[in-house]
Amino acid sequence: MKFKESRPIYLQIADRICDEIRQGIYPEDGRIPSVREYSATVEVNANTVVRTYDYLQSQEIIFTRRGLGYFVCPGAGEKISSLRRTTFMEVELPEFFKQLRALDIPIEEIVRMYGEYKG
């Protein structure tokens, strides 16, 4: 996996796991790979994956069953969509608007381009 320097690696791995959950690779109540298995898959230190799994647990996307491993929480797909929407609206969109203002791009041009994108 290639990582961007602008964002912590554990969060990039969390995004990947969330994408895999949304794609159905890891279904609700289904087991996800162990820390060791996933660290080998993405070629990072196991401690980085532990941090990723701790983060995903804190977001109620995965949970642990003692002695059995990590599993996907029921409703994780909807939770992921909600978290991503919130992040987009509260973090990315204000930055986007700031760039529009700095570059003096009228919102009408963005609306037109979005209409073309949607087809």
Please give the average per-residue pLDDT across 59-72, as a whole number.
Answer: 96
Mean model confidence pLDDT for the chain: 95
Q: Span 51-62, mean pLDDT? A: 98
Q: Are residues 57 and 42 in the same domain?
A: yes
Burial of 10-24, coded b for 16+ CB within 10 Å and e otherwise, reads: bebbbeebbeebeee
Contact yes or no for 53/17 (Cβ under 8 A): no
Q: In terms of Cα–Cα distance, which of 16, 17, 2, 13 is closest to 72?
A: 17
Residue 15 is predicted with a pLDDT of 96
The answer to whether residue 57 sits within a structural domain is yes
Q: Model pTM?
A: 0.82
Same domain, 19 and 70: yes
DSSP 8-class letter at 73: P
Find out whether 25 and 76 touch, Cβ atoms under 8 Å: no
Same domain, 81 and 61: no
Q: Which domain holds residue 15?
A: 9-74
Mean pLDDT, to the nearest integer, of 83-88?
A: 94
Residues 13, 70 within the same domain = yes
Are 25 and 67 within one domain?
A: yes
Q: Note the residue count of the chain.
A: 119
Say if 2 falls within a structural domain. no
Report how many domains make up the chain.
Answer: 2
Does pLDDT of 119 surpass 90? no
The pLDDT-based confidence of 114 (bands split at 50, 70, 90) is very high
pLDDT value at residue 4: 85
Return d(Cα 38, Cα 49) in angstroms, integer.
7
Mean pLDDT of 93-101: 95
pLDDT category at 18 given cuts 50, 70, 90 is very high
Long-range contacts formed by 57-62: CB under 8 A, 24+ apart? 59/83, 61/17, 61/18, 61/21, 62/17, 62/32
SS3 assignment, position 94: helix
- Asked if pLDDT for residue 3 goes beyond 90, the answer is no
